[in-house]
Structure 1
Amino acid sequence: MPFDRLKPSRVLNVERFSDFSEFRANEVLGLGISTPLRPREFSLSRAILPLQNGLFVLQRSFARRYEAEIGTDNGVGLVVPLSFRCVANGTEVDNSTIAVMRGKVPVDSVEQQPNTYVMLRFNSDMRHRGWADFNAGLAYVRAQDDPMARLRAVFLEMFTLASACEDARQFEALNRPIQETLLAVLDEALVPEAHATRPGSFDRYRKLIEQLDEVVELFGSKPLYSDDLATALGASARTLQIATQAVHGVSLHHYLRLKRLWAVRIQLMTGGSGLTVKAAALGNGFWHLGDFSMGYKRAFGEAPSETLARGRRPHHFAVGA
């Protein structure tokens, strides 16, 4: 991820250090001691983004030995590699390995080259999503290539969007849509695939999906977020994930995304003269407008602007004799 594209904004703090004596560690996952392996080549860049449910720090570090108690007092911490290789506590960690931590964990690592990664601290422990089912400690999760590529793309978009933001209130309104997308790709990377549905479970999952559809109807024009729907149904987000996969063969995120695309389509076909594609997309929880437009065209065979233009044409009805 090219740091030179990221500029400070109303919501994004960008820090750059070219001298080790000026370097200050970030406390997102605890403080530690960094010893440069090549002090004359020292350079560090960091972008800090607070969102509603946590703190996210994109960092390009320097070749170093790092000794620390890392983790969180509450919630869960993650380190997601972008371009990364080190040996931590005797374990080789590379681009495919996500570190997940609960509580504080001693770490002694050696990074022979500059690494780029994202540190995430969530206020929630995310157990309801099926992440890392252990009480305390550090685990390394080896993710598949496709989920990792999607995860990196989401990070690129969210930090780029934050860098270009000139209105903090506007970005605050996008917090939940951004986090919903991020949670979906993290679910894909961190949660093992569900095993075949147990005998007798399919009917229970089918009824849960029927209830989900009813709740979605009750939500009306409100954006659909997995945690809100799970709460309304008295289920966990993980259970909803398993149910949609069992009944429809798609992820919960994909299922809800299709419903949100249909909600946008109905608005574009019936909206008034003041409606815009951007307003309809943002109103239904789509924050990455380029991705929204591509998804809309894949789903309906036309661009959202074409749907809107057709919806604005006057309709003539033939009257019988």
Structure 2
Amino acid sequence: MPLSRLKPSRVLGIERFSDFGEFRANEVLGLGTSTPLHPREFSLSRAILPLQDGLFVLQRAFARRLEVDVGTDHGVGLTIPFAFHSVTNGREIDNSTVNVARGRVPVRCIERQPNTYLMMRFNSDMRHRGWADYDSGLGFFRSHDVAMARLRATILNMFCLASDAADPRQFEAQNRPIQETLLACLDDTLVPADGLAARRGSFDKHRKLVAHLDEVAALFGSKPLYSDDLSRALGASVRTLQTATHAVHGVSLHHYLRLKRLWSTRMQLMTGRPGLSVKSAALGNGFWHLGDFSRGYKMTFGESPSETLARSRRL
């Protein structure tokens, strides 16, 4: 979805500039100096979305030269390309490359075309997830097309939901599941499956950890399962849990937890209790994009969630 189709809401801020003299830089990843390559063709649009643990800015910028100390004093900063090409610090960057910045890094960039990209700043440094294992610097991470497509779709869905949000309290209640989906996509992009290979002879250790994970997950009851909560409860990093589920079950941690949340939703729908709806069951189990939930549910169980609920009420 182009930025032009997003509208401001009580959750989402929109800024548009058609004159370079009125342009204001956004400091999500540092303020810099922009020099337009075609001043008469100047145009910039951005959508600004604060979530519980960070700030996210989706932007379509103008052809320019950019000089900036990019990054953040706390946490970690990322740039996700949508339609993008630049030469950054002498390196050609295209649509397949995610940038990850720790600390402040001098950047000299030439963007010869209007680029669309997401700038995000997380309050956490995300080291427990295995991202960009360096103290300070700017890293360039190339990803495969499927992971990038999933990441971009999640970001667009997130901004569309914010654009349509009429009640900030309802959107705030969905912050955690939205961010969990985003983190899952970033894990797949920045820590691909072939980087989760377990060491030889460690299978038994991983099997015990996954068994412990199952025990802890059962204690959560009907609460949604989130990777950071389980990481803290188990005293193991998200990266370690990722490696363990991949070694034992051949799937990512997020896929494993998603299946558990799908099963929890199914059990609720099968009870058919009065007042229960598919939407309330899905939201209660941490699913915020109902179309994606319905597709995943039918793929897993061979029927739609509404069919499960209808059958339970006939019995």
Change (3 A) 1:89 1:196: closer
2:134 paired residue number: 134
Aligned counterparts of 1:288 and 1:215: Cα–Cα separation in 2: 26
Long gaps (5+) in structure 2: none
Is 1:53–2:60 an aligned residue pair? Answer: no
Q: Is the 8 A contact 1:286 1:292 kept in 2?
A: yes
Q: After superposition, what is the alpha-carbon deviation per residue over 1:188-238, rounded to whole angstroms, capped at 9, x for unaligned?
A: 100142354323210000000000101111000000000100110110000
1:5 paired residue number: 5
1:257 paired residue number: 258
Aligned counterparts of 1:238 and 1:131: Cα–Cα separation in 2: 9
Provide the aligned C-alpha RMSD in A.
Answer: 0.8
Q: After superposition, what is the alpha-carbon deviation per residue over 1:151-207, rounded to whole angstroms, capped at 9, x for unaligned?
A: 000011000000000000000000010000000010010014235432321000000
- SS of the aligned residue for 1:264 comes to helix
Aligned counterparts of 2:219 and 2:309: Cα–Cα separation in 1: 25
1:224 paired residue number: 225
2:67 paired residue number: 67
Q: Is the 8 A contact 1:273 1:312 kept in 2?
A: no
Long gaps (5+) in structure 1: 316-321
Aligned counterparts of 2:272 and 2:106: Cα–Cα separation in 1: 57
* Alpha-carbon offset, residue 45 of structure 1: 0.2
2:181 paired residue number: 181
1:100 paired residue number: 100
Aligned counterparts of 1:58 and 1:234: Cα–Cα separation in 2: 35
Aligned counterparts of 1:175 and 1:57: Cα–Cα separation in 2: 16
Change (3 A) 1:138 1:217: same
Structure 1 residue ranges (4+ consecutive) displaced by more than 6 angstroms after TM superposition = none
Aligned partner of 2:102: which letter?
R
Q: Is the 8 A contact 2:75 2:122 kept in 1?
A: yes
* Alpha-carbon offset, residue 3 of structure 1: 1.2
Q: After superposition, what is the alpha-carbon deviation per residue over 1:275-314, rounded to whole angstroms, capped at 9, x for unaligned?
A: 000000000000000000000000011010000011112x
- SS of the aligned residue for 2:233 comes to helix
2:295 paired residue number: 294
1:306 paired residue number: 307
TM-score, normalising length from structure 2? 0.98
Q: After superposition, what is the alpha-carbon deviation per residue over 1:125-165, rounded to whole angstroms, capped at 9, x for unaligned?
A: 01000000000011111111110000000011000000000
Aligned counterparts of 1:200 and 1:67: Cα–Cα separation in 2: 49
Summarize the alignment of residues 188-199 of structure 1 with structure 2, pairs less than 5 Å apart.
Answer: 188-192=188-192, 193-194=194-195, 196-199=197-200
Aligned counterparts of 1:300 and 1:98: Cα–Cα separation in 2: 35
Aligned counterparts of 1:135 and 1:159: Cα–Cα separation in 2: 31
Rg larger for: 1
Summarize the alignment of residues 212-291 of structure 1 with structure 2, pairs less than 5 Å apart.
Answer: 212-291=213-292
2:41 paired residue number: 41
- SS of the aligned residue for 2:132 comes to coil
Percent of counterpart pairs with the same letter? 73
Aligned counterparts of 1:44 and 1:158: Cα–Cα separation in 2: 21
1:158 paired residue number: 158
- SS of the aligned residue for 1:25 comes to coil
Aligned counterparts of 1:208 and 1:34: Cα–Cα separation in 2: 50
Q: Is the 8 A contact 2:36 2:65 kept in 1?
A: yes
Q: After superposition, what is the alpha-carbon deviation per residue over 1:235-281, rounded to whole angstroms, capped at 9, x for unaligned?
A: 00000000000000001111000000000000001131200000000
Q: Is the 8 A contact 2:197 2:243 kept in 1?
A: no
- SS of the aligned residue for 1:66 comes to strand
